Amino acid sequence: MITDYHWIDDNSQLEQLISLEKKAALAFDSEFERVNTYYPNPALFQFQIGEEFYLLDMKKLQPSEGLQNILDNIIVHSGSEDLEIIQNMFNRQPKNVFDTQIAASLCGYGLHVSYQNLVKDLLDVDLPKEHSRSDWMRRPLSPNQIKYAIGDVAHLAEMKNILSQKLETLGRMEWFELVSKNKMHSTDAKEVIEKLFIKISKSDRLNISQKKLLFAILQWREDFAQQRNKPRNWIMKNDQIRKIIKLRPGNNTELIKKAGLYEKFVEYNGNDLIALYDSSQKIHAKSLPDIFRLDLNQTQIFAASKQMMIEKCEELDIPPSLVINTQDLKTHIARGNTLNDIELWGLING
pLDDT value, residue 272: 97
Which CA distances in Å does 272 have to 53, 216, 246, 255?
50, 11, 18, 12
SS3 187: coil
Q: Which residues pair with 97 in a beta bridge?
A: 74
Check if 6-183 and 189-287 are the same fold. no
Paired sense of beta strands 6-8 and 96-99, if any: unpaired
Burial class (CB in 10 A: 0-12, 13-18, 19+), 282: exposed
SS3 65: helix
Domain ranges of the chain: 6-183, 189-287, 296-348
Q: What is the DSSP letter of 320?
A: G
Helical residues (DSSP H) of 54-188, grouped into ranges: 65-70, 80-90, 100-105, 115-123, 143-154, 156-170, 173-183
Phi then psi dihedrals of residue 325, to 5 deg = -80, 170
Nearest C-alpha neighbor of 179 from the set 11, 345, 7, 64: 345
CATH superfamily assigned to domain 6-183? Ribonuclease H-like superfamily/Ribonuclease H (3.30.420.10)
| Nearby residues of 12 by Cβ (< 8 Å), 6 or more positions away | none
pLDDT value, residue 132: 65
| Nearby residues of 301 by Cβ (< 8 Å), 6 or more positions away | 333, 338
E-assigned strands of the chain? 6-8, 26-33, 41-49, 52-57, 73-76, 96-99
pLDDT value, residue 187: 58
| Diameter over CA atoms, the chain | 66
Paired sense of beta strands 41-49 and 26-33, if any: antiparallel
Q: Cα 140 vs. chain centroid, distance in angstroms?
A: 29
pLDDT value, residue 3: 65
pLDDT value, residue 20: 78
The list of the chain residues with pLDDT below 70 reads: 1-3, 21, 130-132, 185-187
Is the bond leading into 140 cis (omega within 30 degrees of zero)?
Answer: yes
Whether the Cβ atoms of residue 48 and residue 35 lie closer than 8 Å to each other: no
Q: What is the DSSP letter of 60?
A: T
Nearest C-alpha neighbor of 313 from the set 338, 337, 345, 342: 345
CATH 1.10.150.80 fits 189-287, yes or no: yes
CA pair distance 350, 348, nearest whole angstrom: 6
- Indicate left, alpha or beta for 294 from its phi (over 0: left) and psi (-120 to 50: alpha): beta
- 3-state helix vs strand vs coil in the chain, percent to 5: 55, 10, 35
